């Protein structure tokens, strides 16, 4: 009888573990579709050639999308916390599809800002906000960094297939045809996968080797108001602004940077950067579970600063080997991607899972502001000077400041975090 009970317990635990991985992989799949944002540099080159826009405005739909995506995360997080991840992600799939189908009908700058920037950006926010929280709830605290890194890796990895696929679609059907294709396919993919997103049953606590950690994690239930009254929130926000903005500045322009050396194969740099982006999320997540979030973040920001300074002579050279450009892009993508697993993990550690959707939505506004400000600044500086040197110098300096700011972060204390 005891053996039968033990066997039934093992089966139940295996079933729970399987459900957790199904939710995690559904989140990865949703993010693989929503990561079209990271292929903007491929579309930007075609838009510059065919649409006749002012060169200083080429990054505007992308920048607005980043900003709207981030602020939509607050509303989407509330929706995710109250209605659950399925409904929220389904809404996101419909909004992204609507935005892409709208821009597929015109070359109008205004429509692209509204369709790609506002409508699709809102949809990406709703989908993205629904992918990570349910997955984290199925796994113990010791796996927070790993699971967050895996789920958000889908978003970073998207360009691996979107960049070459977009290059093919642009060559055969143009920008409008490519957007029409993505609008249809992503509606099916995101809405379909959203049906697999489910939260654990009430009272569920993931099995953990350390009971103390499990109890402490369950006790953290900070509300958005409580979080906003802590200094830590504003320190994290500033560092996220810097780390995300610097990375998005490069991601949004990497195809143009690579054109000098790689010509029509510049999309390869976008795809390889995406691999680095995804790998950074997973590796940083695992590393932060072992050595702590703060030390991992300091290493990431410091390395990113060095890479920005190294990128100045690389992008300024007319005959730089393509392999060097690809290597720099990959490492920048790696360090940028690390931010996307570290900050949700920080948010969960410090303020808990009860209001995680809204809390991380508020933290994530830093990503949007960074993605709005620094890519626009980079485009203006590059249009005026004809080089990327000044924008890389600015980003490198900001990243060094961000690395130093990690010393303002106190080690996580669950009791005070919830106070």
User: Domain spans of the chain?
Assistant: 20-199+211-417
CB 296 within 8 A of CB 288: yes
pLDDT band at 261 (very low <50, low <70, confident <90, very high): low
The residue that leads in pLDDT, 167 or 381, is 167
Residue range 67-115, pLDDT digits in tens: 898 889 889 888 888 888 999 999 999 999 999 999 999 999 999 999 9
Size (the chain), residues? 419
Select the highest-mean-pLDDT range: 38-52, 230-244, 375-389: 230-244
* Helix 322-351 vs helix 356-385: crossing angle, to nearest 10: 150
Structure confidence at residue 418 (pLDDT): 35
pTM here?
0.75
pLDDT band at 316 (very low <50, low <70, confident <90, very high): low
CA distances to 260, 261, 262, 271 from 321, rounded to whole Å, are 10, 7, 9, 17
Q: Given a cut of 70, is residue 50 above it in pLDDT?
A: yes
Bridge partners of residue 352, in order along the sequence: 221
Structure confidence at residue 384 (pLDDT): 74
Q: Average pLDDT of 291-304?
A: 92
The tokens for 257 are: 């940077």
The residue that leads in pLDDT, 352 or 265, is 352
Structure confidence at residue 41 (pLDDT): 75
Select the highest-mean-pLDDT range: 88-97, 128-137, 363-372: 88-97
Question: What is the chain's percent helix, strand, coil content, to nearest 5?
Answer: 85, 0, 15
- The residue whose two tokens read 């099995």 is 207
pLDDT band at 189 (very low <50, low <70, confident <90, very high): very high
Q: What is the DSSP string of 64-96?
A: HHHHHHHHHHHHHHHHHHHH-HHHHHHHHHHHH
Average pLDDT, the chain: 81
Closest CA to 374 of 389, 394, 400: 394
Structure confidence at residue 63 (pLDDT): 81
229-267 b/e (C-beta count within 10 Å ≥ 16 → b): ebebbebbbbbbbbbbbbbbbbbbbbbbbbebbbeeebb
Structure confidence at residue 332 (pLDDT): 85
Q: Average pLDDT of 217-223?
A: 67
Of 206-220, 231-245, 264-278, 344-358, minimum mean pLDDT range? 206-220
CATH 3.20.20.60 assigned to domain 20-199+211-417? The reply is no
Residue 54 to residue 61: CA distance in whole angstroms: 13
């Amino acid at each position: 009888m005891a053996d039968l009970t033990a066997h039934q317990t093992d089966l139940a635990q295996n079933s729970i573990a399987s459900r957790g991985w199904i939710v995690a992989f559904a989140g990865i799949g949703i993010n693989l579709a929503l990561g079209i944002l990271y292929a903007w540099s491929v579309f930007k080159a075609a838009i510059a050639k065919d649409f006749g826009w002012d060169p200083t405005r080429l990054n505007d739909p992308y920048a607005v999308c980043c900003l709207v995506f981030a602020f939509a995360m607050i509303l989407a997080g509330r929706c995710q916390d109250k209605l659950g991840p399925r409904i929220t992600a389904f809404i996101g799939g419909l909004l992204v599809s609507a935005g892409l189908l709208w821009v597929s009908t015109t070359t109008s700058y205004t429509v692209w800002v509204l369709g790609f920037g506002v409508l699709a950006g809102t949809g990406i926010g709703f989908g993205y906000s629904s992918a990570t929280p349910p997955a984290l709830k199925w796994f113990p605290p010791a796996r927070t960094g790993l699971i967050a890194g895996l789920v958000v890796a889908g978003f970073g990895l998207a360009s691996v297939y979107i960049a070459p696929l977009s290059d093919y679609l642009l060559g055969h059907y143009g920008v409008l045809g490519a957007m029409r294709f993505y609008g249809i396919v992503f509606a099916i993919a995101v809405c379909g996968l959203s049906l697999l997103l489910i939260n654990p049953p009430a009272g569920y606590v993931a099995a953990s080797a350390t009971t103390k950690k499990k109890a402490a994690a369950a006790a953290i239930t900070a509300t958005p108001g409580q979080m906003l009254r802590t200094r830590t929130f504003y320190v994290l926000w500033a560092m996220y602004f810097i780390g995300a903005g610097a990375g998005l500045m490069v991601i949004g322009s990497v195809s143009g940077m690579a054109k000098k050396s790689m010509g029509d194969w510049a999309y390869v740099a976008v795809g390889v950067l995406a691999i680095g982006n995804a790998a950074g999320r997973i590796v940083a997540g695992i590393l932060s579970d072992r050595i702590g979030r703060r030390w991992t973040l300091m290493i990431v920001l410091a390395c990113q600063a060095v890479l920005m300074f190294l990128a100045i002579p690389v992008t300024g050279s007319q005959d730089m080997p393509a392999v060097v450009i690809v290597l720099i892009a990959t490492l920048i993508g790696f360090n940028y991607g690390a931010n996307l697993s570290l900050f949700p993990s920080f948010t969960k550690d410090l303020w808990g899972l009860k209001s995680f959707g809204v809390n991380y939505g508020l933290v994530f506004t830093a990503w949007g502001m960074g993605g709005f400000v620094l890519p626009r600044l980079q485009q203006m500086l590059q249009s005026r000077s004809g080089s990327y040197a000044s924008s890389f110098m600015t980003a490198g300096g900001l990243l060094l400041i961000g690395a130093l700011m990690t010393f303002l972060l106190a080690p996580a204390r669950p009791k005070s975090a919830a106070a």
